[in-house]
Structure 1
Amino acid sequence: MSGGGEGMNPTLKRVFRVTAGLAGLVMILLVAVPVLVHPNQLRAPIGALVKNATGRTLTIHGEVGLAFFPSLELILRDLSLEEDPAFGVEPMAEARSLAMGVKFMPLLSGRVEMDRAELTGLRLRLSTLADGRSNWSALLASPHPGGKTGDTEPAAHPASLLDRLLGMSIGGIEIAQATLFWHDRQAGLDLKLEPWAFKTGPIHPGRPVTVTGSSRFLEAGHGSNGRLEMKAQLRPLSQGRIGIEGLTLQLASGVVNGMVKEVKAGLQAELILDPQARQAVWSRVELNANLWSDAEWMRELTLGFQGGMEMDLSSGRLAAPQARLNLLLKANSLPPAGVRALVRADLSADPSRHVLDLDNLEIEGPAGLKVNGDMRAAARPLLIEGSLEARRFDFRALLIALGRTIPAPADGKVCAGAEAEMAFEIKDGTWRIPRLEVGVDDSHLTGSAAWSVDETRLRFDGRVDSLDLTRFVPLLSGGVKAESGAEGWPMPARDWRVEGRFLAGRLITPKGELTDLDLLLAASDGVMRIDPVTFGAHEGRMRTVVEIDQRGEEPVIRIEQQAEGIRVGPLLKEGFGWSGIDGKGGWRARLATRGRERPAMWRALEGEIGLEVAEGVVTGLDLVGKARQAHAQFIRQRAPASGADETAFSGLDATVRLGDGKARITDLKVTGPDLLATGSGEVDCAKRQVEAALNVDVTTAVRGVAIDVERYQGLTQPWTLRGPFDAIKRFEPGTVDFSRVSPPTGTPTKE
């Protein structure tokens, strides 16, 4: 081999010379450029470039640095991008540093290949005003060619920018230690993401790109907080389309609102973005979410969404035909395994109009329940409306599936067939059901209702044609326990605000049959009034006014009642299990009590009842016959036959005064053709004891069988009644005191 390279191949010589020349050029650039070009001289060109592209001023507060090997890298420190004046004076974006590089060696061969772009310490503020304007929309606009600064074309869509980005060669993009503030007055959203991180793998035209991101977040409006993670692979496709494969989102959140305490959600999807057609096609979407709550009706809710969808990227319109949503609800009152439901619908959404539609809605619930309908929701102003219909279903089986313990009712077929139909609307803070129809067996209920959230007021109107509650016994049985464990009466909530009316053509209860029931209810500020409730019962009619006042430490209950033309016998038998008296009449009552438990309420009961009964009969007592027998024995005559063991009367009047837990009968009077009886008595409501006395006038009783009735003036036969409610005996007759009347001497008597 000759020295000096004389024997070297000519091609190798040329390669060596080019390589040496490039190396020399690199050395010259490395030495000369830092001397000839000071980095801070780049501030003005960079600022002008950003101003021309965005219309905003970029301020570089820190140093501008340059690096030349192994890549040509520009480093900007302490940056701020000015805000639109309509949104405030703070910078829209700030960053501690921005580093962008161009690979040096590809540049020498005429190719521009960017190295990694790194943005550190970003603080980005995104805002939306109530009219829908945002502080970032203008940044996506493009200046008119040859136009002045500020003249823009319609905003480019982010999907188009993504398409351009995937057409470049970049070593990767990384955003670290970032904070994002998103304040949306239109949606009522106040969101903070910190720390926010975003990273891509190397980007080369035609090759897939991996994208990852994570952040913690805080939503100040509802106090919700948690963590969000994202991962996907972007794949460039033909005709500028972009495939997003293996999209995965994971969300874990704390308190969402006053009801939902925790949320965990996961999303997996495959989709294709078409920036030119401004369209996104989701070929597969699987969303799974779990919500936990302390609410009585929801301990845990599991959601599972499956389906495909199409989205118009320009307008945001979305369509998801035949979407499926699986629900699993767990609550304290439900079976341990929970209750499942399947929802199917053709879903469409138009964000520009803030409208969501659910057409061909189908819900399959437990026990074969199927509900069909449709729903429409609009955000500005808030409006949710629609209709639901449930055809024939087994309501009894549904209650069992919901975990209710159902005793055997009086009628084993009760609730075997039910159906329901309703229209609903949520608007202006009011929940309305303008039309409700419910059929259970042979009963049909129609009505309407409205719930005002702002006023916390319920308005209702309902009508049932005929309802036999006895078929539901003991389905509807069960006592209400007070907090102390003693048996008490259910009380309405103090904050109830209710107005409504309920009508019933025929209502059969365990205590009797009511007809033409008309109830008016009003409640507000701790006072509830039923004013009045009227109904027909036992051939007569009743009118009652009830007031429950809960403004004090314990409830105060006042009752006024008026009854006319009532058959007393059936009423006492069905209402109290008492028998032995019948007649037709009525009463007037004014009562008041206080407390929550029955013993205390009986002790506090006070008021007055005026009773009038006409043309009646007392069975089990022959008041007139017993007086005549006593008279016959006195005059030493054969006692007349007693006849029927009853006493007919033409009138019965009494006044009952209540106080100190006792009911006192002060002026009882019973009259008839041969009957005059007066009496008094006392009922101890708390001890459930009765003590009563009745005095039958002998003169009136013997008027039809004696000639010398005047000599018996003032004589009475006493009757007494004593004992507990549960073992009460009949009135027992006493002895007539004939001691002041001389025995007759041959005085003729009537047979």
Structure 2
Amino acid sequence: MAGRGLKIGVAVVGGALLLILLLLLLLPSLIPADRYRALIAAQASEALGRPVSLGAARLTFLPGLGAEATDLSIGEDPAFGREPFLRAKAVQVRVALVPLLTGRVEVTRAIIEAPRLTLLRGPRGLWNVTTLGADRPSTAARPAQPGRPEPPAPAIALPLLPSRLDLTGGALVIRDLERRSTVALRDLEVSLRQGEGPRPTSLRVRATLGEQRAASLSLSGDAGPWPATADLKALPVSLELKARRLSPDHIASLVDLAALGVSAAGAADLDVRLSGTVGAAKVEGSLDFGALALRLGQGFRKGAGEPGRLTLLGSVGTDRLDLARLEVLLKGAEFRGSLSVERFAAPRVEFDLASPALDLNRFLAPPTTRAALLAEAWAAAPQPATAALPAVTAAGRLRVDRLTYGDLSLRGLSARPGFQGGRLTASELSAGLEGGTIQGGGGVRLGAVPEANVNVTLRGIQTGPVLRALVKPDWSLEGTLGLHLKATGRGDSIEGLLKTAEGGGQVAVENGRLKGYRPAERLEEALGPLLAARGIQLKLDRFERLTGTYTLGGGVLRTADLLLVQGENQVAASGKYGLVDRSVDFDVVARTARGTIDAKVLGTSDRPRVLPGAGAIQKKLGRELEKRLGPGGAVPLQDLFRQLLKP
């Protein structure tokens, strides 16, 4: 009897459960969810502070209580535009039953299919996502009050986030309205698990960047527990970002490399790890760009496959980056140091870099002609458009134990490079060069036509190696050089700089040996017989001292006191030399114990012409003409006589 009752009880319970299951299956179709669609959208709109619309909707009771809808659309904050903030093909929501019985809606899971999310950054640095759920009007376009600090950006309303959120097959567009830059991600997969109490929220993101030769991006880690205040800077984070096959095309909307004189092809891999809080996090990472081919200006080249790696370690906040360790490996050269950046919108960069050795010959393309290395170096520099230069200020210190360029070798190089307002400078420059020292500084204002200035002093430098490396002349000068040069110029080539150079300085060469310089040889050939008739032997290929001052202007070097000393004999010269056409026009006076002989040197440095005594004749004629015709009237005849003396 008892067994029969048990069977009946089991049958009743089973039937009841079957009936409940049947009701759960049929109930969604019996309840017209579409009738409540407008109500659901209105409540969601009130919670989000944005307009919300839904397509077809229905309730679900299995596997949990919830709802499904198609064609979800969440509007944008009017301060950021009219395009929807979020559009999705379908959305599934699950809610907790027990809180629902108490009148509180707690979303346990949300699945969004094929979402298209647009993140916008306004002119004041405020993101559109930060105004979600705000119970006050948007502040994105509110003008700042003079003398009043900016209010902190509100945090995202956390109750809006479900315990589990999954986005599948999505797309993400990130746009900076001030910089007018856009980054678009596709194949977006997001998995978010919100922690309870002290437990952090976990995040997993995967996406593809670009269409052809796409890069893969992944972001994983934890955030939280959420701070009690609305200050997002206090939010703990532990995140890892990986980017693979990242190419210049992928960042073209953010950085115009071509406008900066840079061309690049290939791909790079990026790894970055953050730990700490949003306002103060430890950052470490690396950028491997060995597979990237780079070209800067006309000369600097890095081929794909040549070593290239950047490693960093430091801290980052909402508006400051401090890298205590920065290492750069590029084509065999190694740099180590530190770097700080503040005010990301208008960055100020401070750095301290050092390298044991730097061979510029490995960085610059080999010269194609016998042109001077100075010309090759100037041609190698990029010429970015001024409008493309970032609003960045930089200052720091650079030290290189040994720098090699051509046949030159600088030792103990130290300088303070800087950049501000499109101007690149190097101050406090000092280095050892060919037995002597070089000190000074200079700068270049970048642009379509660069403007340069230099102020340097050379002491005790051997002239031979320097001339062979920089000028590559068909003559030679050996000796110990002292030189001061202060000048300015503008041009996109060395020739342009020489034509516009303005300035001057002093020069001194001791214990000199001059060979193959045609003007000196022709002068010696012309004056030699005249001096020999007086029993004087004058050789210009060797001298004890050569001194003088000079000025630069209009592509011409002028001197009034060039003096060569050889024992008791002296040769003085005054005149001008064409820096571009190499023309010469000098009055020369040879003074000896037995008399004085003058000459005129004209023509070019390749084909000079020496006229003994012509200098004195020209001066005497000029004085006589001025006496009779006056200074103004004598000029045409003086010019005519000067032209007659030219070859």
Give the TM-score taking structure 2 as reference length: 0.63
1:328–1:387 distance in 2 versus 1, CA, 3 Å: closer
SS of residue matched to 1:269: strand
Output one character per residue of 1:43-102: Cα deviation in whole Å (capped at 9) or x when no partner.
Answer: 333332343234321233x32343332234433333333334444433343333333334
Q: Does 1:47 align with 2:41?
A: yes
Q: Going by fraction, where is helix more abundant, 1 or 2? A: 2
The Cα of 1:267 is off from its aligned counterpart by: 0.7
Q: Which amino acid aligns with 1:386?
A: A
Asked whether the 8 Å contact 1:583–1:613 carries over to 2, the reply is no
SS of residue matched to 2:135: coil
SS of residue matched to 1:143: coil
- Of 349-358 and 50-59, the range deviating more from structure 2: 349-358
The Cα of 1:429 is off from its aligned counterpart by: 1.7
Quote the residue 1:703 is aligned against. Answer: none
Q: Does 1:34 align with 2:29?
A: yes
Asked whether the 8 Å contact 2:602–2:646 carries over to 1, the reply is no
From 305, 308, 312, give the equivalent of 2:311.
305
Aligned ranges 1:17-416 → 2 under 5 Å: 24-35=19-30, 37-60=31-54, 62-102=55-95, 117-139=110-132, 142-143=134-135, 155-157=153-155, 161=158, 169-170=163-164, 172-178=165-171, 180-186=172-178, 188=179, 190-200=181-191, 205=196, 206=199, 209=202, 211-217=204-210, 226-234=214-222, 244=238, 248-255=242-249, 257-258=257-258, 259=262, 260-269=264-273, 271-273=275-277, 279-282=279-282, 285-290=285-290, 291-295=292-296, 296-299=299-302, 300=306, 302-309=308-315, 311-312=316-317, 315-320=318-323, 322-325=324-327, 327-330=328-331, 338-339=332-333, 341-345=334-338, 347-351=339-343, 354-358=346-350, 361-366=352-357, 382-388=391-397, 390=399, 393=401, 395=402, 398-399=403-404
1:285–1:612 distance in 2 versus 1, CA, 3 Å: same
From 561, 575, 586, give the equivalent of 2:585.
561
Q: How many aligned positions are there? A: 505
1:3–1:441 distance in 2 versus 1, CA, 3 Å: same
Asked whether the 8 Å contact 2:72–2:90 carries over to 1, the reply is yes
Aligned ranges 1:515-526 → 2 under 5 Å: 515-520=547-552
SS of residue matched to 2:41: helix
1:500–1:40 distance in 2 versus 1, CA, 3 Å: farther
- Of 288-297 and 200-209, the range deviating more from structure 2: 200-209
SS of residue matched to 1:464: strand
SS of residue matched to 1:459: strand
Asked whether the 8 Å contact 2:77–2:128 carries over to 1, the reply is yes
The Cα of 1:460 is off from its aligned counterpart by: 1.5
Q: Give percent identity, aligned residues only.
A: 17
The Cα of 1:105 is off from its aligned counterpart by: 11
d(CA) in 1 for partners of 2:227 and 2:175?
Answer: 37
Quote the residue 1:376 is aligned against. Answer: none
Q: Which amino acid aligns with 1:66?
A: L
Q: Which amino acid aligns with 1:504?
A: Q
Asked whether the 8 Å contact 1:418–1:441 carries over to 2, the reply is no
The Cα of 1:264 is off from its aligned counterpart by: 0.6
d(CA) in 2 for partners of 1:429 and 1:608?
Answer: 47
Aligned ranges 1:518-537 → 2 under 5 Å: 518-520=550-552, 529-532=555-558, 536-537=562-563
d(CA) in 1 for partners of 2:35 and 2:139?
Answer: 28
Q: Does 1:431 align with 2:455?
A: no
Output one character per residue of 1:132-189: Cα deviation in whole Å (capped at 9) or x when no partner.
Answer: 45444423x6327xxxx7699964436x85x995xx642x5123141x3333254x35
Question: Looking at both structures, which has the greater relative contact order when contacts are Cα pairs under 8 Å and sequence separation is at least 6?
Answer: 2
1:534–1:42 distance in 2 versus 1, CA, 3 Å: farther
SS of residue matched to 1:31: helix
The Cα of 1:431 is off from its aligned counterpart by: 1.8
Bigger Rg, which one = 1
Q: Which amino acid aligns with 2:169?
A: A
Q: Which amino acid aligns with 1:297?
A: F
1:352–1:427 distance in 2 versus 1, CA, 3 Å: closer
SS of residue matched to 1:176: strand
1:174–1:122 distance in 2 versus 1, CA, 3 Å: closer
The Cα of 1:285 is off from its aligned counterpart by: 4.2
The Cα of 1:585 is off from its aligned counterpart by: 1.9
Asked whether the 8 Å contact 1:430–1:451 carries over to 2, the reply is yes
d(CA) in 1 for partners of 2:446 and 2:106?
Answer: 60
Q: Going by fraction, where is strand more abundant, 1 or 2? A: 1
Asked whether the 8 Å contact 1:534–1:542 carries over to 2, the reply is yes
SS of residue matched to 1:298: strand
Asked whether the 8 Å contact 2:77–2:138 carries over to 1, the reply is no
SS of residue matched to 1:476: helix
Quote the residue 1:450 is aligned against. Answer: 443
Output one character per residue of 1:338-360: Cα deviation in whole Å (capped at 9) or x when no partner.
Answer: 22x14122x4444467445546x
Quote the residue 2:620 is aligned against. Answer: none
Superposition CA RMSD, Å: 5.0
Asked whether the 8 Å contact 2:195–2:225 carries over to 1, the reply is no
d(CA) in 2 for partners of 1:195 and 1:204?
Answer: 27
d(CA) in 1 for partners of 2:123 and 2:453?
Answer: 35
Aligned ranges 1:455-474 → 2 under 5 Å: 455-464=448-457, 466-470=459-463, 472=465
The Cα of 1:329 is off from its aligned counterpart by: 1.8
SS of residue matched to 2:134: coil
SS of residue matched to 1:294: strand
Q: Which amino acid aligns with 1:282?
A: K
Output one character per residue of 1:249-284: Cα deviation in whole Å (capped at 9) or x when no partner.
Answer: 4352144623232341231536244xxxx5454375
Asked whether the 8 Å contact 2:53–2:74 carries over to 1, the reply is yes
SS of residue matched to 2:300: coil
1:562–1:479 distance in 2 versus 1, CA, 3 Å: closer
1:245–1:264 distance in 2 versus 1, CA, 3 Å: same
SS of residue matched to 1:472: helix
Output one character per residue of 1:483-513: Cα deviation in whole Å (capped at 9) or x when no partner.
Answer: xxxxxxxx95676585443523314675376
Aligned ranges 1:532-547 → 2 under 5 Å: 532=558, 536-538=562-564, 539-546=571-578
List alignment gaps of at least 5 residues for structure 2. Answer: 141-150, 229-234, 361-387, 475-491, 515-540, 565-570, 617-641
1:480–1:261 distance in 2 versus 1, CA, 3 Å: farther
Q: Which amino acid aligns with 2:599?
A: G
